[in-house]
């Protein structure tokens, strides 16, 4: 039950992702834009950068996502007459009418974006995007860009952590639509959890728009909707060779065998549940995977499953497995597997060797990690709430800060040191050691020469003293992705970005990927950038200005 | 800076809220629908109900929101050819082609919804919506309805708690767009936090679509974009009577007076910050509210503000106030107010009595509640992350459970008692005591007679023994809101629903509204419903069915 995964970003996908309206921003962007315009400063060249201050979830890394959505937004950015009329009604009556004409003609043709590629492993305080253009325009873009990057990166990073916790072979299904922040929150979640490492989604619209493989079989309501075997129809199922067989009678025979084998109490086996399983199996003989805990797994659900599955096997079909949705999932999975093995042996049915056990029910990162410690037989895990709402930390806290105006570096040096910014237009390099693992991200001024492989360089890790490092390889992280109004790179499909995430994660040493208390990855300023910060803090550069005499 | 608040749900608003596509659901809804269809059960009359199991945030209540969005979704529910083609590609190849024709013709013309009104105070385990219709159709609706109710109710309840924490007079501004789950998550947040009790939003699109008043002035980037007084333009400002005055020189004179009064060090006052304030003030002489902590509140921002504000006052304008965005907000607000009072007295400027102090910076429910305990002078609070992401509990956990098929009550009695459901089609009554406060929500079977005011009745509070209560008033909570495909009530505007929330909250005794450890509000089953549950659990009703002999 999987939709084909497209190889590039399709028309259907673009149409939904381009619809971020330019009014979807904070009002202060417009009040500031007007003040710039009124002072004649709106065309001044300015540079903003987007970054986050702390790696999410107490972890050692994040994944950068949402870039392509930003580029589509920038490409279609313009105000309609209706937008401008609304703004006129909101800004003070004395606002110069010519400002609204200016807005009506505005687009991103003067904007250039350099960025880390979508799906790249990134770290706190490293610039992710640099947005350059006329001051009023790049200011107006702030909230929309943050909105598009913040949650996409957060939920993608969360998915990558669940993937690390689950190990590489367990199949992971995202099923959080009903818990997300409304319809589009759910779509964004499905898209970026797939990018972060989930295999499948329950969200059909995400399959339709983004080509993500979709999965799902039945809910408890399906099981509880049945009352008796009278409701099963059709009552026959053809063998794979085409001969119709009385499927109910056949299953009853198997149920009696299974009950005997497991010494079950027939009085506790629910006929209504059996009816639900039978009815599902005749509709989907190749895809039989019921939820078996609507009543009691041990007394009813597992027996009914085995009976229907054995009947399917007799007719030549391969049943798929079971889903557990309550109670102690690990313990139950072991019990279920034991019964599968017993049936396989006792009835000589090899198909029972490949039955899968799916577990759902409020799975968190912690309970996922426990799967690798506790004995269990769970093959597939479905995750909803904790994945899409990022319970552990529901916001990434990306910010968008002004770093240069008219070629002059700008810096906010707050009383709260955490809120200070690093001035100037930058370049970012990832330094890789001889073991092939990245060991340091170097933030330089844009005008500096690139570090060279094999050549020692001085740098200043954030919050530490200076040190000298020698990279074995150097990768430039920033690429120009949007130039004067045009997207200058091919937009990747969801599947392509997903592959990039896993490749990028492989460059990181496991000690930084530990989910709990990872070793901190080093982010450092170049010597020149470090000196610029110090100069500005001392007030000796031409950056700050004080009223020495009033 | 506020848009007019519309009195009913407008065309613009409807158009955005109707666009929830029917594929935005979990795949298992379709696999189940096919199994029902194949068994000829798809037209069986069925009833689902929507409820949540625990009041959110450890509190004593919730607010029900999202109903109108559900009704608009139901009214426009249908599958396009493109939708059906996609489903064909996802379901197993053996799926009967006639099923897709069935889907193509499907709509909600057979669906009826009874519901608690939007904006009503509600409690855990009380049915909020009852959806009745053909089994396959009402099953398909599950995920979309949950998605529309879950977050809307959660964030609305969160806003109501922030409002309770803030007290009735402080103005609250929602500013969480950049931290929400993408564009639509942000819109949903702005809409339902306003409904829950916030006064204003920073989100312009939410003002445009829903008529919510919008607010905003300037960010730090505006302040840091200035380097010197050379950048201020125009350099004159007209008095309210129209005579242009050299505003820079006037402000410098005031700055010198203020510095003298406060014994400030002129060398620490930032000229770049003053330039930003001046430039903003000449653009918005009636709306001057700068952020004053870009550098140092005490050494620079507050002095610069006072100088510009005093100059504005001299020209006849009323400055609005200041925003604080870092550090100890309470302490700073006290310092700022003291300076305002000093200026007011020393310079005899009454306008300084009405300056407002706005505080922002990672405000949580707890820090909001502390405002009522610690000395402070904060008039307006802006809240982003903790409000929209509902950090304390980012999901409400609404569920949608089958309670009746073909007139027979259905129940899921899981091994996990928390996951059991209450069977049957229901009515819900709110019982009000002689003091005018609601004291009990009574869940009955739909066929039972309504409780009567002044007449004692037996009931069974959940998890407790039976008791007898006598209501002074009885309100029926369920209304029929959607009948055979048509919305049968007028959809309310955001402003109307907002008013209903506050009215509804007033009926609840303060002991249930306490944010920490509230007294539990009683939810009870009627005697008949209680007996039905017991019967089904004993397996003596005609509900369950067991395989007594196989």
The CATH number that applies at residue B452 is 3.20.140.10
pLDDT score for A336: 98
- Measured between beta carbons, the chain B residues lying within 8 angstroms of A282 are 38-39
| A162 near B CB under 8 A | no
CB–CB of B177 and A31 under 8 A? no
Identify whether residues B283 and B220 lie together within a single domain.
Answer: yes
- CB A333 within 8 Å of CB A269: no
The candidate with the shortest Cα–Cα distance to B328, out of B336, B339, B319, is: B336
Together in a domain, B409 and B319? no
Give me the pLDDT at residue A449, please.
95
Least CA distance to B213: which residue of chain A?
Answer: A90
B100 and B171, same domain (yes or no): no
Query: Quick check: A398 contacting B, CB < 8 Å?
Result: yes
Closest CA to A459 of A434, A477, A442: A442
**Residue B428 covered by a domain:** yes
DSSP A336-358: HHHHHHHHHHHHT-GGGGG-EEE
Short-list B385, B255, B371, B377, CA closest to B311: B255
Residue identified by tokens 């309310």 is B492
* Contact criterion met (CB < 8 Å) for B295 and A86: no
Per the domain annotation, does A370 fall within a domain? yes
pLDDT digits (tens, 9 = 90+) for A422-451: 999 999 999 999 999 999 999 999 999 999
| Facing residue for A546 by CB, picked from B181, B269, B419 | B269
Same domain, B174 and B63: no
Answer whether residue B548 is part of any domain: no
**A394 domain-assigned:** no
Contact A136, A42 (CB under 8 A): yes
CB contact under 8 A, B3 and A205: no
End-of-domain residue from the set B335, B366, B388 = B388
Contacts of B4 in chain A (CB under 8 A): 89
List all residues of chain B from 403 to 432 with a beta carbon under 8 Å from chain A: 405, 408, 410-416, 419
pLDDT at A192 over 60: yes
Does residue A9 surpass a pLDDT of 60?
A: no
- Yes or no: say if A550 and B259 are a contact pair by the CB < 8 Å rule: yes
Q: Let me know whether B284 and B188 are in one domain.
A: yes
| A462: in domain | no
Nearest to B494 by CA among B208, B217, B216: B208
| pLDDT(A12) > 90 | no
Give yes or no: residues B23 and B104 share one domain: yes
Chain B contact present for A296, CB below 8 A: yes
Q: What are the residue ranges of helices labelled H in B141-287?
A: 142-166, 182-196, 204-210, 220-224, 247-262, 271-283
By Cβ distance, the residue of A24, A27, A287 closest to B183 is A24
Which of B91, B546, B547 minimises the CB distance to A1? B91
User: Are residue B329 and residue B447 in the same domain, yes or no?
Assistant: no
Give the per-residue pLDDT at B255: 98
pLDDT band, residue A181 (cuts 50/70/90): confident
Does the beta carbon of B332 lie under 8 angstroms from any beta carbon of chain A?
A: no
Range of the domain at B451: 11-160+393-538
Q: What residues does A47 pair with on adjacent strands? A: A132, A404
> Residues of B with CB below 8 A from A30's CB?
204, 216
Give the largest CA-CA distance in chain A: 101
State the pLDDT at residue A542.
46
Are the C-beta atoms of residues A330 and A368 closer than 8 Å to each other? no
Confidence of residue A387 (pLDDT cuts 50, 70, 90): very high
Residue B250 at interface with chain A, using a CB cutoff of 8 Å: no
Report whether pLDDT(A125) > 50.
yes
Same domain, B272 and B356: yes
For every residue of A398-463, DSSP letters joined together read EEEEEEEETTEE-----SSGGG----S-EEEEEEE-TTS-EEEEEEEETTSPPP-TT--EEEEETT
Q: Which of B40, B48, B179 sits opposite A150 (nearest CB)?
A: B179
Residue B441, domain member (yes or no) = yes
Tell if the CB–CB gap between B185 and A187 is shorter than 8 Å.
no
Q: Are residues B146 and B129 in the same domain?
A: yes
Q: Which of B388, B410, B433 is the last residue of a domain?
A: B388
Domain's final residue, options B360, B388, B416: B388
Together in a domain, B153 and B165: no
Find the helix or strand (DSSP H, E) in which B357 lies: strand B356-359
B474 CA: distance to closest CA in chain A (Å): 32
Output the pLDDT for position B458: 96
State residue B10's pLDDT score: 57
Q: Least CB-CB distance to A227: which of B38, B286, B408?
A: B408
Residue B491 included in any domain = yes
Alpha carbon of B488: minimum distance to chain A alpha carbons (Å):
24
- Provide the number of structural domains found in chain B: 2
Angle at A116 between CA A110 and CA A119, to 5 degrees: 125
In a domain, B68, yes or no: yes
Mean pLDDT over residues A176-190, rounded?
90
Point out the residue among B178, B179, B274 whose CB comes nearest to the CB of A547.
Answer: B274
Q: Which residues of chain B have pLDDT under 70?
A: 1-19, 414-417, 540-550
**A397 shares contact with chain B (CB less than 8 Å):** yes
Output the domain CATH number for residue B296: 3.20.20.70
- Half-sphere exposure in the Cβ direction for B436 (13 Å, CA): 6
**How many A-B residue pairs are in contact by the CB < 8 A criterion?**
436
Same domain, yes or no: B77 and B130: yes
State whether B425 and B349 are in the same domain.
no
pLDDT at A16 over 70: no
Instruction: Tell me what pLDDT residue B1 has.
Output: 37
């Amino acid at each position: 039950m999987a939709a084909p995964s497209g190889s590039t970003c399709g028309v259907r996908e673009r149409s939904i992702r381009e619809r971020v309206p330019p009014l979807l921003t904070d009002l202060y962007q417009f009040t500031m834009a007007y003040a710039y315009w009124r002072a004649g400063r709106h065309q001044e060249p300015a540079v903003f950068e987007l970054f986050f201050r702390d790696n999410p979830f107490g972890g050692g890394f994040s994944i950068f996502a949402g870039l392509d959505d930003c580029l589509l937004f920038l490409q279609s950015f313009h105000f309609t007459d209706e937008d401008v009329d609304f703004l006129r009604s909101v800004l003070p009556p004395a606002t110069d009418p010519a400002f609204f004409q200016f807005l009506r003609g505005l687009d991103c043709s003067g904007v250039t974006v350099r960025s880390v590629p979508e799906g790249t492993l990134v770290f706190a305080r490293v610039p992710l995007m640099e947005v350059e253009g006329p001051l009023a325009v790049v200011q107006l873009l702030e909230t929309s860009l943050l909105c598009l990057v913040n949650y996409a990166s957060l939920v993608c990073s969360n998915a990558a952590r669940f993937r690390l916790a689950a190990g590489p072979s367990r199949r992971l299904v995202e099923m959080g639509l009903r818990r997300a922040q409304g319809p589009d929150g759910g779509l964004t979640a499905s898209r970026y959890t797939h990018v972060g490492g989930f295999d499948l989604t329950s969200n059909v619209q995400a399959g339709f728009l983004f080509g993500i493989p979709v999965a799902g079989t039945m809910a408890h309501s399906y099981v509880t909707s049945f009352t008796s075997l009278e409701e099963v129809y059709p009552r026959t199922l053809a063998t794979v060779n085409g001969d119709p067989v009385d499927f109910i009678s056949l299953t009853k025979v198997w149920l009696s065998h299974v009950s005997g084998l497991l010494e079950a109490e027939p009085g506790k086996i629910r006929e209504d549940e059996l009816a639900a399983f039978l009815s599902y199996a005749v509709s989907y003989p190749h895809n039989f995977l019921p939820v078996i805990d609507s009543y009691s797994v041990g007394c009813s659900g597992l027996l009914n499953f085995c009976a229907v599955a054995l009947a399917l096997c007799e007719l030549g079909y391969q049943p798929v497995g079971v889903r557990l949705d309550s109670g102690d999932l690990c313990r139950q999975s072991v019990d279920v597997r034991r019964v599968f093995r017993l049936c396989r042996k006792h009835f000589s049915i090899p198909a029972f060797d490949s039955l899968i056990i799916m577990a759902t029910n409020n799975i968190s990162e912690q309970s996922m990690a426990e799967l690798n410690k506790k004995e269990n037989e769970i093959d597939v895990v479905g995750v909803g709430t904790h994945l899409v709402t990022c319970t552990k930390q529901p916001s990434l806290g990306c910010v968008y800060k002004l770093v240069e105006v008219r070629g002059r570096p700008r810096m906010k040096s707050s009383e709260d040191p955490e809120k200070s910014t690093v001035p100037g237009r930058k370049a970012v390099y990832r330094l890789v050691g001889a073991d092939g693992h990245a060991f340091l991200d170097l933030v330089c001024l844009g005008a500096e020469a690139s570090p060279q492989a094999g050549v020692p360089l001085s740098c200043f890790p954030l919050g530490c003293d200076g040190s000298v490092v020698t990279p074995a390889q150097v990768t430039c992280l920033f690429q120009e992705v949007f130039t004067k109004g045009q997207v200058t790179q091919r937009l990747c499909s969801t599947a392509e970005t997903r592959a990039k995430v896993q490749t990028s994660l492989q460059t990181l040493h496991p000690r930084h990927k530990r989910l709990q208390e990872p070793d901190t990855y080093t982010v450092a300023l170049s010597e020149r950038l470090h000196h610029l910060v110090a100069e500005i803090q001392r007030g000796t550069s031409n950056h700050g200005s004080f009223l020495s005499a009033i």
